[in-house]
Amino acid sequence: MKFARLVWANILRNKRRTALTTLSVGVAFFLFGTLRSIVTTLDAAAEVGSEARLITSSASGITFVLPEAHASRIQTFEGVRSVSWANWFGGYYTDPNDFFAQFAVETDTYLDLYPEIEITGGSKEAFVQERTAALVGVGLMEKYGWRVDQTVTLKGTIFQGDWDFTVRAVYTPTNPSFGDETMFFHYDYLYEATDGRISPGWFVLGMENPDEAAALASRIDAVFENSTAPTKTETERAWQTGFITMWGNVGFLVRAVGTAVFFAILLVAANTMMMAVRERVNEVAVMKTLGFQNGTLFGIVLAESIAITMLGGTIGLFLARMAFAGDNPVNQFFPGFMVRTETILLGLAIALVLGLVSGAVPAWQSARLSVVQAFRRVA
Amino acid sequence: MSSQPVEATAASTAASKGNVLVEITDLAKAYQRDAQRVDVFEHVTLNILRGEFLALMGPSGSGKSTLLNILAGLDRPDTGSVVVDGKDITRMSNKQLAAWRSTEIGFIFQFYNLLPVLTAYQNVELPLLLTHLSKKQRREHVMTMLEVVGLTDRAEHFPRQLSGGQQQRVGIARAIVSDPSIILGDEPTGDLDSKSANEILTLMQRLNEEFNKTILMVTHDGHAAERAHEVMHLDKGILHR
Amino acid sequence: MKIPIIYNLRSLRQRPVSTVTTALGMALVVAVFIAMMALSNGFSAALRSTGSTENVLLIRQGANQEMNSGISRDAARVVSGMPFVETGADGLPMVSPETYVVVPLPRAEGRGMANVVARGVGLTAFDVRKDIEITDGRAFRSGAREVVVGKTFTERFDNSDIGDTVRFATEDWVIVGHFSAGGSSFESEIWGENEQFMPVFRGQIFQSVTFRMRDPAAFDGIKEMLEGDSRLNVDAFRELEFYANQSTLLSQVLSFIAVFISTIMAVGAVFGAVNTMYAAVASRAPEIGVLLTLGFKRRNVLTSFIAEASLIALLGGAIGCLMALPINGLVTSTTNWNTFSEVAFAFRVTPSLLVTGVVFSVLMGLLGGFFPAWKAARANVVDSLRQA
C-alpha cells in the first residue's frame, strides 16, 4: 500500500497517454457491457418461463393449432390442476411494422395460471365479464397513450379486418422480464367472430406437483401421439428457450466480437505499458540501486497497468449501466434490457485479467533490467 | 603480469581511524567485447576504514565506475571478494543484495536521478518504503534529512522545480536517509557549477565529520578530490593509493 | 521539399513492437467491421435476391406475410386464367399456388430445434421461379411423398442426403434432390408438392400464389386489377420486393449492430494510434529539430507524421482484411422474425467491403496521427535539438 502513491504518480506522469488508454479501455468495456447484456437479457427472458407450468403445443410446429377438445382430455390427467389455452392474434395498431404481442386467451383460467400478471388499473372483473374487453400491459398503454375504457381498433393480419377492443384492465408484470407490452383478450371473442374457425395455438397447464413435469409431459404426449393432432408438452421455460434459441448464434456472435475487442484493447493497453516502462528504464535502475527488489518493481508496474484497466473498465461498465437504464431504443426491442450487476462484476474481473496480461511483459522487463547496462545506455 | 597491487592502509592509519569496514581482496573484472576479452582491472585490493572519506580518480574507462558498482552490489566481479562489515557480498544472491543495498549503501549519482514524478519529500522517503517504519517514523526521518541538507522548505517541490545543486542535495538526503554504512558517490559534482559543487562537497564533508559517515567518491575533479582524506588513482587496472 | 517516405518506413522499423501492436489493434477493428458488414450484407443479399421482378406474389389482403395468409383454390384457379399470366413452354400458365408452413426440425449436432419453411409448390414452380436448379438428384414426383431441399439446408441438418427421410407434419418425406436458388433464401427451404402438403398442413387452402407476368412492365395495372377483384381478396406484390420487405427490419438491426460495434471499437483503436504517434513524435524530437534546421517546412513535418500514421493504419487494414477473408462464404443462420423461420445465409466479403475496411482503417490512422503530427510540426527547433 505504501507504494500506492508511487504507482499513482507514475499513472499521472503522462496524463494524456493515461487518459487515452483509460478511455479506450472504457469504450471497450462499454461495448462489453452492452453485448453481454444481450445474452443475459435473453437468458432472463427464457427464465421468465415458469418451471411450474407446462405448455402443450402441436408437435408439427408453430403454425399448427390443436383441437379445443384436447383441453378436456388433458384436464383428466392426474397431476394437472388446471388447463387454459391461448392463440396468437398477430394484429397491429396503426403501423404494420410496429409489432407487439396480442394473445387471445381463455380468460377464466388464464389469469389464475399467471400470477406474474398483476392488475394495477381498471378491474379484473370488468375484463373477465366483457367479451370484447382487453387487458393491456402498462408499457403498451404508455406507448400508444391508451386509457382505461378506451376502445382501440387493431388490424388483423392472420384474422382479417378491423378488431375493436375495449381496454378494461391494465397490468404491471411482477417480473420486468415478463414484459409490459402485451395485450390479452378473450379467446371467445375471436372464436365467435371467426364463426368457430379457430382453434387453440397452445395449452397452458397448471400442475399439482412441478417435480413431476417431465413424467406428466410424456404421458400427455403419449396419449395424443397417434391422434390427428400430436402434441409436444414441455415446461414453459423450455418452450420459451425454444424461441430464444431461434435467435441463433447470438451467443457465438457476442463471444467472437467480445474476444476481438478484448485482444484489440489488450494491444492498446500493452503498448501503452511498454512505452511507459521503456521511458522509465533509468528510474527503474535507480530504484534497484536504492535496494528495490525485482518482485517489488514487477508489482509496481503491474499495479499501474491494472489500475488503468480497472479504471477504464469501471468507467465503461457504469456508463453502459447508465446508458441502458430507463427507456431507450434497445429496451424496446429487448424487454427488460439492462446491464446487470453480474455483468459489471464479470467485466471488472476481465479488466483485472486485462491489466495483468498487458502489464506482465513490461513488468517482467523492468524486473529483470540490469542496472549496469541501464546506466551505460543512458551515459 | 607486471602490474603490482599497491598494499593499502598502513596499520597506523587503521588504528587512528577505527576498524576496517570494507575489505576488497584481489578483485578482477573483464568484459567481453565482440570476441575480445577486455580486462577492466585485475588484482585490486583495498581496505576502507570506518569513517574514512576517500576519493577515487582516474581517466575515463579506467574502471572507477565498475569498482563502485561492484562495491554497491550492482555488478559482480569475476574473481575476488568484497567483504563489507563482515559480510561477503559477492556470495549474496541478487535478492539478498537488493535488501542489503537498501540498508547498507547510500548512492549519490552524477545526474541526481531523482524520480521526476515524486516530490523532494517523496524522493527522500523512497528507500524508507523498503523498511518496516511507520508512516509517522518515515516522516520524522525524511524531515530530519531534509533539514540536514537544508531543503526543508522545498519538501513539496518536484525535481524539475529545483536547481541542480538542490536536486543533488535531495539525492544526498535520499542516500543517507536509511542510515547506510557507506556512501558511494559517482561523480556527485560532475554536473554542477563550481559554487553548487562546493556546497555539495561541504555537505559531504559535514556528513563525514559530523555524522561519521564513510564515503567513497569517484571524481574527475581535483578540487573535489582535495576535500577527501585521501585520493586514490585507478589507472590501467592498477589502484594507486 | 518533401520528406521522403523512406524516412517514415525506417522509423516504423525502428520500433517494431509498437508499430505491430498498433497495427494489429486496428487490424482487429477492421476485421470485426468487415465481418459484421459481411453478415449484414449476406443476410440482405439472401433476401434481396429472393424472387424476381417478373413475378407477382399474391397473399390474402392484410396478411402481410405468407404465414398468415390464406387463398382458396377457387381464387387460385381464377388467377391462372388471367390473360396477363405468361404461358410456359408446355402451354400451361406459369402459376405456382403454394402452401407455406414452418416446421420444427432438430439442428445438426443436437443444437436445439430450428424452424424451417416447408413450401408446397406447384409443379411449374421450377419454371416460374428464376434461378432454381436441381444440383443433385431430381425434382419430386407428383403424387409422391417426396421433397427437395435447398443448398444451405443440407449444411444445417443431419439426414439431408438424397434418400434420407425427413419427418414433419406427422409424415415421413423422402429427400430426392438438392436445389440451388442463386443464393436466395429459398435455399433454406424444403420444397414439396402443394397437393401433398395441403391435406397434412392447413387444409384446402393455399398461402400464396406466384405467377410470371407476360409483360413485367404492366405490373401496376395488374396489381390494381387483382386487388380490386372481389373474388380474390388479395394483395399483389412484385415477388422480389415482397421478400426484400420481409427482411428490412432484421437487415436494419444487423447493420445497426455492425456500425455500433465498429464505431466503438474504432474509437478505442484511434486512441491507441494517438498514443503510439505521440510516443513516436516524442522520441524523435531531436530529428524533427534537425529536419526543421535543414529547411524542411513545418507543413512537410506535419504531412510526414500523418503519412506515417496512415502507413501503420494501412498495414493494419491489410492485416484486418486478411483476417476477415476466411469467413467469406461461411454459412450461418438467423431467425427472420417477420416469418418466424430460420434463414441461412453466407457471410459475403466483397471486394468493395475490403476496400471500405482499408479506407476505414486509414481514416482511423489519419485521425490518430493528426494531433501528434500537429505537435511535431509546431516543435520549437532549439528545444527539440537540446533533447538530443
**Chain B residue numbers touching A300 (CB-CB < 8 A):** none
On whether both C189 and C258 belong to a single domain, the answer is no
Nearest chain B residue to A3 by CA: give it. Answer: B129
Contact A2/B at CB under 8 A: yes
Q: C268: domain range? A: 5-48+248-386
List residues of chain B with CB under 8 Å from any CB of chain A.
69, 72, 74-75, 94-95, 98-103, 105, 107, 109, 111, 113, 115-118, 122, 126-127, 129-130, 135, 174, 178
Nearest chain B residue to A283 by CA: give it. Answer: B115
Q: Which residue has the higher pLDDT, C45 or A82?
A: A82
Nearest chain A residue to B122 by CA: give it. Answer: A6
Nearest chain C residue to A239 by CA: give it. Answer: C113
Contact A288/B at CB under 8 A: yes
Provide mean pLDDT across the span A2-6.
Answer: 85
Band (A333; pLDDT cuts 50, 70, 90): low
Contact A373/B at CB under 8 A: no
Q: Which of B72, B117, B130 sits opposite A9 (nearest CB)?
A: B117
On whether both C94 and C153 belong to a single domain, the answer is yes
Contact A157/C at CB under 8 A: yes
**CA dist., res. B215 & res. B33, Å (int):** 32
Domain-located, residue C29: yes
Q: pLDDT tens across A37-50, in order?
A: 888 887 777 777 77
* Inter-chain touch A293–B98, beta carbons under 8 Å: yes
Q: How many CA atoms lie within 13 A of A111 on its CB side?
A: 21
Q: What is the 3-state secondary structure (H, E, C) of chain B?
A: CCCCCCCCCCHHHHHHHCCEEEEEEEEEEEEEECCEEEEEEEEEEEEEECCCEEEEECCCCCCHHHHHHHHCCCCCCCEEEEEECCEEHHHCCHHHHHHHHHHHEEEECCCCCCCCCCCHHHHHHHHHHHCCCCHHHHHHHHHHHHHHCCCHHHCCCCHHHCCHHHHHHHHHHHHHCCCCCEEEEECCCCCCCHHHHHHHHHHHHHHHHHCCCEEEEECCCHHHHHCCCEEEEEECCEEEC
The average confidence (pLDDT) of chain A is 86
Within 10 Å of residue C111's Cβ, how many Cβ atoms? 12
Q: Which of C22, C332, C335 sits opposite A271 (nearest CB)?
A: C22
Q: Which of B101, B111, B117 sits opposite A13 (nearest CB)?
A: B117
Q: For the ranges A186-195, A287-296, B5-14, C334-343, which has the lowest average pLDDT?
A: B5-14
On whether both C151 and C283 belong to a single domain, the answer is no
Classify the phi-psi angles of B34: left when phi > 0, otherwise alpha if psi is within -120 to 50, otherwise beta. Answer: left
Q: Which of A156, A230, A261 sits opposite C265 (nearest CB)?
A: A261
Residue C110 has a pLDDT of 67
List all residues of chain A from 253 to 282 with a beta carbon under 8 Å from chain B: 282
Q: Which of A5, A13, A291 sits opposite B98 (nearest CB)?
A: A291
Instruction: Check if the beta carbon of residue C376 is closer than 8 Å to that of residue C305.
Output: yes
Provide mean pLDDT across the span C129-153.
Answer: 89
CA-nearest of A246, A235, A163 to A198 is A163
On whether both C378 and C339 belong to a single domain, the answer is yes
Nearest chain B residue to A295 by CA: give it. Answer: B95
**Chain A residue numbers touching B113 (CB-CB < 8 A):** 282-283, 286
Nearest chain A residue to C68 by CA: give it. Answer: A158
Q: For the ranges A327-336, B70-79, B137-146, C308-317, which has the lowest average pLDDT?
A: A327-336
Pairing of strands C190-193, C208-212: unpaired
pTM above 0.80, yes or no: no
CA-nearest of B119, B96, B95, B117 to B174 is B119
Q: Which of A2, A283, A290 sits opposite B102 (nearest CB)?
A: A290
Classify the phi-psi angles of B71: left when phi > 0, otherwise alpha if psi is within -120 to 50, otherwise beta. Answer: alpha
**Chain C residue numbers touching A35 (CB-CB < 8 A):** 261
How many separate domains does chain C show? 2
Q: How far is C64 from chain A (nearest CA, A)?
A: 6
Identity of the amino acid at C314? L
Domain boundary among C212, C232, C258: C212
* Inter-chain touch B113–A5, beta carbons under 8 Å: no
Q: Listing from the earlier edge strand, what are the strands of the sheet with B182-186?
A: B105-108, B182-186, B214-218, B53-57, B230-235, B238-240
Domain-located, residue C184: yes
Instruction: Check if the beta carbon of residue C56 is closer than 8 Å to that of residue C219.
Output: yes
Identity of the amino acid at A156? G
On whether both C30 and C103 belong to a single domain, the answer is no
Domain boundary among C185, C212, C239: C212
**Chain C residue numbers touching A317 (CB-CB < 8 A):** none
Interchain contact B/C (3 or more Cβ pairs less than 8 Å): no
Percent of chain C with pLDDT strictly greater than 90? 22
Q: How far is A370 from chain B (nearest CA, A)?
A: 8
**CA dist., res. C43 & res. C346, Å (int):** 7
* Inter-chain touch A247–C335, beta carbons under 8 Å: yes
**Chain A residue numbers touching B100 (CB-CB < 8 A):** 291
Band (C376; pLDDT cuts 50, 70, 90): confident
Q: pLDDT tens across A230-284, in order?
A: 888 988 888 887 776 666 566 777 777 788 888 888 888 888 888 888 888 888 8
The complex's ipTM? 0.83
Q: For the ranges A77-81, A140-144, A357-361, C296-300, which has the lowest average pLDDT?
A: C296-300
On whether both C118 and C259 belong to a single domain, the answer is no
Domain boundary among C196, C212, C228: C212
**CA dist., res. C200 & res. A258, Å (int):** 45
Residue A304 has a pLDDT of 92
Domain-located, residue C330: yes
On whether both C291 and C178 belong to a single domain, the answer is no
The average confidence (pLDDT) of chain B is 85
Instruction: Check if the beta carbon of residue A171 is closer than 8 Å to that of residue A119.
Output: yes
Q: pLDDT tens across B16-41, in order?
A: 445 888 999 888 888 877 778 878 88
* Inter-chain touch A289–B95, beta carbons under 8 Å: no
Rounded CA Rg of chain A: 30
List all residues of chain A from 294 to 313 with a beta carbon under 8 Å from chain C: none
Q: How far is A346 from chain B (nearest CA, A)?
A: 34
Q: Which of A245, A246, A267 sits opposite C25 (nearest CB)?
A: A267
Instruction: Check if the beta carbon of residue C320 is closer than 8 Å to that of residue C359.
Output: no
Q: How far is C366 from chain A (nearest CA, A)?
A: 16
Band (C317; pLDDT cuts 50, 70, 90): very high
Q: Provide the terminal-to-terminal Cα distance of chain B, rounded to the nearest Å.
A: 19
Residue A353 has a pLDDT of 92
Q: How far is B95 from chain A (nearest CA, A)?
A: 6
Percent of chain A with pLDDT strictly greater than 90? 35
DSSP for A311-349, written as a single string: HHHHHHHHHHHHHTSSS-HHHHHSTT----HHHHHHHHH
Residue C270 has a pLDDT of 83
**Chain A residue numbers touching B99 (CB-CB < 8 A):** 291, 293
Q: How far is B226 from chain A (nearest CA, A)?
A: 26
Four-residue CA torsion sign, C277, C279, C284, C286: positive
Domain-located, residue C302: yes
Residue C318 has a pLDDT of 95
> Residue C364 above 90 pLDDT?
no
Contact A156/C at CB under 8 A: yes
Q: Which of C28, C60, C337 sits opposite A264 (nearest CB)?
A: C28
Q: Which residue, among B97, B117, B183, would best test binding to A if mutated, counting the most A CBs under 10 Å from its CB?
A: B117
Q: pLDDT tens across A121-164, in order?
A: 889 999 999 999 999 999 899 989 999 999 999 988 888 889 99
* Inter-chain touch B98–A2, beta carbons under 8 Å: no
Q: Which of A35, A61, A256 sits opposite C102 (nearest CB)?
A: A61
**CA dist., res. C210 & res. C52, Å (int):** 10
**CA dist., res. C47 & res. C244, Å (int):** 5
Four-residue CA torsion sign, A140, A144, A150, A154: negative
**Cβ partners under 8 Å of residue B111, min gap 6:** A378, B191
Q: C144-174 as b/e, with b when 16 or more CB fall inside 10 Å? A: eebbbbbbbbbebbeebeeeeebebbbeebe
**Chain B residue numbers touching A378 (CB-CB < 8 A):** 111
Q: pLDDT tens across C280-290, in order?
A: 777 777 778 88
C-alpha cell at A251: 451467443
Interchain contact C/A (3 or more Cβ pairs less than 8 Å): yes
> Residue C387 above 80 pLDDT?
no
Residue B7 has a pLDDT of 43
On whether both C290 and C366 belong to a single domain, the answer is yes
**Chain A residue numbers touching C61 (CB-CB < 8 A):** 160
Q: Provide the terminal-to-terminal Cα distance of chain C, rounded to the nearest Å.
A: 24
Residue C5 has a pLDDT of 78
Instruction: Check if the beta carbon of residue C209 is closer than 8 Å to that of residue C97.
Output: yes
Domain-located, residue C369: yes
Residue B10 has a pLDDT of 39
Contact A286/B at CB under 8 A: yes
Pairing of strands B230-235, B53-57: parallel
**CA dist., res. B124 & res. C280, Å (int):** 33
Q: pLDDT tens across C185-234, in order?
A: 888 899 999 888 888 877 788 999 999 999 989 999 999 999 998 888 89
Q: Which residue, among A279, A289, A296, would best test binding to B if mutated, counting the most B CBs under 10 Å from its CB?
A: A289
Band (A167; pLDDT cuts 50, 70, 90): very high
Instruction: Check if the beta carbon of residue C3 is closer than 8 Å to that of residue C301.
Output: yes
Domain-located, residue C364: yes
Chains that touch C (3 or more CB pairs under 8 A): A
On whether both C10 and C93 belong to a single domain, the answer is no
> CB contacts < 8 Å between A and C, how many?
156
On whether both C67 and C108 belong to a single domain, the answer is yes
Instruction: Check if the beta carbon of residue C357 is closer than 8 Å to that of residue C321.
Output: yes
On whether both C263 and C378 belong to a single domain, the answer is yes
Say what the alpha-carbon torsion angle B57, B61, B64, B69 is, to the nearest 10 degrees.
160
Band (A118; pLDDT cuts 50, 70, 90): very high
Identity of the amino acid at B104? E
* Inter-chain touch A372–B75, beta carbons under 8 Å: yes
Q: pLDDT tens across A200-219, in order?
A: 989 999 998 888 888 999 99
Domain-located, residue C231: no
> Residue C328 above 80 pLDDT?
yes
Domain-located, residue C242: no
Residue C345 has a pLDDT of 81
On whether both C86 and C24 belong to a single domain, the answer is no
